[in-house]
Structure 1
């Protein structure tokens, strides 16, 4: 347990010196928070709405998990608050004229949280690990030479990933991939300490409980994990070894179990300084008056969709799929689940994602008459003789409301639907394995590239719900093009997917964060992630 002990030593150092002057009474839950004390002024408490079940970069899925993983772990490159790709642990890189070979030059003197210096071999291990365990995001590295053999279990090392020396990483691709650098902003591109990961085993990046503390995974990001009690709280501390400008914030404490209405009251009392994804419905359910808070609103790279597996009856009948797509009242579903905190998607998600003008209207909008007619053409007028349809969704309040509205919408055209809520990891599993006939999901930006969505939902190499060799070829071809041509191919891919009634977009997300006026330089990224490394308290800013 040497590495675990070294992590604890760093945490003890942080607590003893970074938080000097704090005593037990300073953190007494019975203390009424009025004017903040000096000892507390560099501690941010944030309420998280979405659950956190893992912070393993290879498995994170929702916006809370992605944000925390990016604060702890880092890769060769990263996205800034404007969505631009900038260097991170790689100070620079070169690309061969044929576009097949990338050479990354790492910063020297950059350390994991446990004090071990980061070397090129650590990146090789981390990426190969994603391939070896066939993680959900293994597609990120599938175009690297030797990746197929690792994925198949024939090899443990990918021949196309080479540490030329301690600070130089060479990557050789099978075919040119113009968006390769952009995809590396994904959490799964982060570097991990190989020895620590092996030692922690199945406990790596998993929560602890009141009797068994969480193991501390070492990244290289601006913050390190201090404590994580499953379903209650997760605390990050400032990384004293951070190689960029060190954060002004000493600690970030995330509350995980509190209701939004209660968190809003804590905000007014000064206990909570940040709440994310506060919808108009959240405000309606609280006793807070609108003039008591100010909202930071921003459109996000995040959207909700429904998917259909055409291999499972009755959805092997195209007219039944059409009936469902016409029968979904997206405006009603959005208003019921999020109020005004989103927008119905009227065009291709490609245009929404890359902030392009709408090129073409999507195939399906709510049309009850057309839905009824599709069932007639399918041979099931009014839904007669059709069995009950299982509908899979997540287990959040929003998922539940979406499921209820979809049941209502489709009952109006004669379809009987039953909702099966699942934890996010189980929902992802049944969709990936082709077990769900009808489902809804939420896609949140993990990198700057929309390719992540198409790989997860359409590419037949990575899931069994949708299988079309022509779409696989089109997606592979898109990655080889510059952005203008790539977006055109994405639109062509979407046109065919939507036209076959396999996916329908419901709405995009608009974040509304409640932020204390004591904070300065508060920025939200495209995936609703807060850049806490740049946040400061206004009282710390010199006049």
Structure 2
């Protein structure tokens, strides 16, 4: 009799069965029927903080993904069970050896400037633009992709150098946005003027960005899904103060709030408002997990005992309960409990100031010799309070600490340039550790230019090998074994200071339909978001 599969293996097996069925042919395109709903209208939302850019191929900060996900599209999207669904690809199939994947594209798709979208754009996007410029996707592309070839105007074939088990989970829009070849080919991707006026294939076109005030997207009249989008416009308002954002929603000036748009202390009150709906769905693909990033390139965080002391000095239950008002769950490791190959049997760091002080003494490091700079995380007042709490906690074990404020662009640049001592971040898991987790720890990804790589400078050749072997393994049991080992090492070495799994609340007025329908939630295209008929 065979032993039972581990929990994650059961899930992997069910996903594999669903994927096998999907590979035989795509399901019908979502969102074609809008009966009982009205065409037109303006949806008013908030973007918080204001993004540094809307060029999704170059920047994947949360506010950029939220807005630009209506402009750009990927080949696939994913349902709440993370099964692939059609987007710019209408169908797909895989070879039995897992080395070849063929996609058939939608017909009649145009870029926002009227040029036709074709297989040549897919080849350019993946093989040229994303291979060079995307901080996450380029890892997989350069490591596993042997070639991508156009098959006529509407077909593309990916060939891999070796099996990569989560390949079909790679095509979420912010991982693999399609980029117009006719605009970017032969240019400097980072300075192309089109970065300021993004052009995609999505249901909404860029109209206006008034810095510090609002971003406006307008209906794409040539959108490839007949009769869509429903809305005429989406206006993303920039409101720096959390209390003012809550008031704007209460007054009806804003109809939609995304996780992080308001302080968590306001959630209970907003949930009780009449004609308001709250949901925590739509984060299944991302499973965000917050952590402390300590720069290991220089003292004092180049010392393991100091990093362990920091973890014992932080009361993570207090953080979840009192700073984020219960909207989260203490993380046990770098892989979220809702993600494949999670293992809770790893080293833990209980809140223990006596233990923290003892570790500082054992380290032999004078942690008070030079002030530690906390680079503030510019995603709302809860993160500001977390910085203050962390300063107080570190000062209790002998550190001198100063907090340095930054906006979203400044934070991303400084983290990407490794110009920090300690900061906060959260990672999107993307359904598989090979896609969302490995990037933060691989030695080869300790490169400047992005806030979502191995910014802390952690290096361990054994961890590199474990991640590589786990990504290539075809057996769920073997992948679980390898990822369990890597989780144990990362926690023992405090490769990052894991804090908590984030729970996000979406609020919207009840007359808005079809907002959260997939595993990427509000980062969807919004092509079938509509208002009820009056």
Q: Same fold (TM over 0.5)?
A: yes
Superposed counterparts of 1:301-320, under 5 Å: 301-320=287-306
**Alpha-carbon shift at residue 206 of structure 1 (Å):** 4.4
Structure number with bigger Rg: 1
Alpha-carbon deviations, 1:241-285, whole Å to 9, x = none? 222351222221110135333333333333221112268845559
- Residue 164 of structure 2 contacts residue 472 of structure 2 at CA under 8 Å; is this kept in 1? yes
Superposed counterparts of 1:110-149, under 5 Å: 110-131=109-130, 133-137=132-136, 138-145=138-145
Alpha-carbon deviations, 1:196-230, whole Å to 9, x = none? 235897255645xxxxxxx2x22112222222222
CA distance in 1, matches of 2:162, 2:269: 57
**Alpha-carbon shift at residue 406 of structure 1 (Å):** 0.7
Given the alignment, which residue of 291, 298, 308 partners 2:280? Answer: 298
- Residue 280 of structure 1 contacts residue 341 of structure 1 at CA under 8 Å; is this kept in 2? no
Given the alignment, which residue of 505, 523, 537 partners 2:531? Answer: 537
Asked if 1:368 corresponds to 2:353, the answer is yes
2:6 is matched with none
- Residue 390 of structure 1 contacts residue 418 of structure 1 at CA under 8 Å; is this kept in 2? yes
CA distance in 1, matches of 2:265, 2:335: 31
Given the alignment, which residue of 468, 477, 481 partners 2:469? Answer: 477
Instruction: Compute the TM-score of the two structures, normalised by the length of structure 1.
Output: 0.79
- Residue 261 of structure 1 contacts residue 282 of structure 1 at CA under 8 Å; is this kept in 2? no
CA distance in 1, matches of 2:246, 2:373: 36
**Alpha-carbon shift at residue 89 of structure 1 (Å):** 1.7
Superposed counterparts of 1:336-485, under 5 Å: 336-345=322-331, 347-354=332-339, 359-360=344-345, 362-380=347-365, 386-397=369-380, 398-432=382-416, 434-444=418-428, 447-463=430-446, 465-482=457-474, 483=476, 485=478
Q: Are residues 451 and 494 of structure 1, via their aligned partners in 2, closer, same or farther at CA, if it must alter by over 3 Å?
A: same
Superposed counterparts of 1:107-256, under 5 Å: 107-131=106-130, 133-137=132-136, 138-145=138-145, 160-197=147-184, 202=191, 204=193, 206-207=195-196, 215=197, 217-244=198-225, 246-256=228-238
Aligned length: 478
Runs of 5+ consecutive residues of structure 2 not aligned to the other structure = 1-36, 448-456
CA distance in 2, matches of 1:480, 1:166: 31
Given the alignment, which residue of 494, 502, 509 partners 2:502? Answer: 509
Q: Are residues 448 and 224 of structure 1, via their aligned partners in 2, closer, same or farther at CA, if it must alter by over 3 Å?
A: farther
- Residue 197 of structure 1 contacts residue 204 of structure 1 at CA under 8 Å; is this kept in 2? no
Quote the RMSD (CA, aligned, Å): 3.2
Instruction: Compute the TM-score of the two structures, normalised by the length of structure 2.
Output: 0.80
2:319 is matched with 333
CA distance in 1, matches of 2:290, 2:298: 22
- Residue 442 of structure 2 contacts residue 459 of structure 2 at CA under 8 Å; is this kept in 1? yes
- Residue 511 of structure 1 contacts residue 528 of structure 1 at CA under 8 Å; is this kept in 2? no
- Residue 143 of structure 1 contacts residue 175 of structure 1 at CA under 8 Å; is this kept in 2? no
1:22 is matched with none
Runs of 5+ consecutive residues of structure 1 not aligned to the other structure = 1-37, 147-159, 208-214
